[in-house]
Structure 1
Amino acid sequence: MLRISLRDGEALVVNGAMLRSKGRTELVIENKVALLRGREIMAPEEATSTARRLYFATMMAYLGDEPEAHKNQVIDELTLLIPAMTCDAGRAACVRFARLVAEGDYYRGLAACRTLIEFEGAALVPANEAA
């Protein structure tokens, strides 16, 4: 059993269905479901970098929307991201993420991918700042 408290207007995705609370809401989940809270949900237009596209593909695989197709995208994006990691900790985070996804643990993979987004942001300097 999982107890979730939602703020007014907070989004929640349950097995691919987008829900939004009206008023403060408390839910009790009594069986296994794929769910993401508002701060864990990424819209397609937010997938603007390799690590963000990796997160979006992992999120879609977790929610059950053609997991194999998204798993292939995860592999493609990870192949691009690993060489961009400039530090050992970033590469280790890639390995940790890949292990979780290979085991089918997409939810924990999302948490690991948030770390990759941070590493990517630190490793890649925007072109207008490099000049």
Structure 2
Amino acid sequence: MSLKVELKPGERLIIGNCVITNSDQRTRLFIDGKAPILREKDILTPDTANSPARRIYLAVQLMYIYEDVERMRKDYFQLINDIVTAAPSTIHLVDEINNEILTGSLYKALKAAKKLIQYEQELLTHAT
């Protein structure tokens, strides 16, 4: 069964380590096979990874795109250590991310990292 992806005009998509940019018309793609795929709305860059949770997401994103956990292992563990030390209440979300990584479910780890970003935002909102 193919994955169906609809792209808005100008929207980008990552398949593997390639960036695909849509033209000026809405496009529907059917993708067969196994490769890491991310829509533009789910992609962070080093410039947009401007908080501890976002940097964790970026590390997991790179693990997912390159299909290589070891590549980011040291940086990832330093980042999660920092966030858990600063905000111990994040441990349950970090555990969820870790479990998904350990089972090889990197896309699910990305979804869990999104929850961490949302939680971080809630903490910051209530702190001010």
Residue of structure 2 equivalent to 1:94: 94
The offset of 1:91, in angstroms, is: 2.4
Residue of structure 2 equivalent to 1:75: 77
Residue identity (%): 26
The offset of 1:124, in angstroms, is: 3.7
Residue of structure 2 equivalent to 1:47: 49
Residue of structure 2 equivalent to 1:31: 33
Query: For structure 2, which runs of at least 5 residues remain unmatched after alignment?
Result: none
* Amino acid of the structure 1 residue aligned with 2:21: R
Normalising to structure 2: TM-score of the pair? 0.87
Note the alpha carbon deviations across 1:41-87, whole angstroms, 9 max, x for none: 11110111111111111101111175412122211111111233354
Q: Which runs of 4+ in 1 moved over 6 A?
A: none
* Amino acid of the structure 2 residue aligned with 1:95: D
Residue of structure 1 equivalent to 2:12: 11
Normalising to structure 1: TM-score of the pair? 0.86
User: How many pairs are equivalent?
Assistant: 126
**Equivalent of 1:85 in 79, 84, 87:** 87
In structure 1, distance between residues paired with 2:68 and 2:96: 23
Query: For structure 1, which runs of at least 5 residues remain unmatched after alignment?
Result: none
In structure 1, distance between residues paired with 2:68 and 2:95: 23
Residue of structure 2 equivalent to 1:120: 120
* Amino acid of the structure 1 residue aligned with 2:120: E
The more displaced of 116-125 and 7-16 is 116-125
Q: What is the CA RMSD across the aligned residues, in angstroms?
A: 2.1
* Amino acid of the structure 2 residue aligned with 1:10: E
In structure 1, distance between residues paired with 2:97 and 2:52: 14
In structure 1, distance between residues paired with 2:87 and 2:63: 24
The more displaced of 66-75 and 16-25 is 66-75
